[in-house]
Amino acid sequence: MASDSELSDFLKSVERRAFKRSLFHVRNEESALDIVQESMMKLAEHYGHKPASELPLLFHRILSNCTLDWFRRQKTHQALFSTMSDFESGTEDEGFDLLEALNVAGNGEQNESAERTTDRAQTLRAIEAEIQKLPARQREAFLMRYWEDMDVAETAVAMGCSQGSVKTHCSRAVHALGQALQNKGIRL
């Protein structure tokens, strides 16, 4: 059974990555923040009594479900208000600046040339743009495996699919990203 401090420490450790993951999915900072907060509240309310070792998988599953719920609500909202321009959102596809979201304060970066910093920023934007173009399940599997550093079994549980499906989604995502970046002349 997780203590209050263990639950609090877990939520603090996962909040930034969860926000970035949600932001990759929904492309709106306010919505991403709402999704993460809702996920954290659900974890604390419904699963706070679980052992601390189970919290990561539970949280990622809740986060995935909250993200899917957000997309369902958006689809319903768009269906209801698609012909009523007064109700359309003015923030349809605000860009996501990966460099603003990343709080990079490494020692080597302080002495880095402006040209190298700019090149890296452009490369990160290109990678972020290509991740956004991936199909939802591929993007989800890719982010969990390589952004969240979850293993195949954990990702399968969080996504509610088989380990083979996770491997397939990841393989396709990596191949698509590699091809897209290669087409842009980006070598990693």
- Rounded CA gap, 157 and 162, in Å? 8
DSSP string, 30-81: HHHHHHHHHHHHHHHHHHTTS-GGGHHHHHHHHHHHHHHHHHHHHHHHHHHH
In Å, how far are 143, 178, 186 from 183, measured between CA atoms?
Answer: 22, 9, 7
Write out pLDDT tens, residues 96-141: 444 444 444 444 445 567 888 788 888 888 888 888 899 999 999 9
pLDDT at 15: 93
In the chain the domains, ranked by start, together with CATH numbers, are 1-83 (1.10.1740), 114-181 (1.10.10.10)
pLDDT at 43: 94
In whole angstroms, give the CA distance from residue 34 to residue 29: 9
The continuous run of DSSP H or E covering 99 comes out as: helix 98-101
Kind plus residue range of the DSSP H or E element containing 137: helix 136-142
Question: Any residues with CB less than 8 A from the CB of 63 and at least 6 apart, and which?
Answer: 18, 21, 22, 35, 36, 39
Distance from C-alpha of 15 to C-alpha of 60, rounded to nearest angstrom: 11
Q: What is the pLDDT of residue 146?
A: 84
Quote the pLDDT of residue 101: 44
What is the spatial distance between Cα 155 and Cα 163, in angstroms, rounded to a whole number?
Answer: 8
Q: Is 24 exposed, middle or buried (0-12, 13-18, 19+ CB in 10 A)?
A: buried
The C-alpha atoms of residue 50 and residue 48 are separated, in whole angstroms, by 6
What stretches in the chain show pLDDT beneath 70? 76-112, 188
Res 87: pLDDT? 36
Q: Which two tokens stand for residue 181?
A: 């970046």
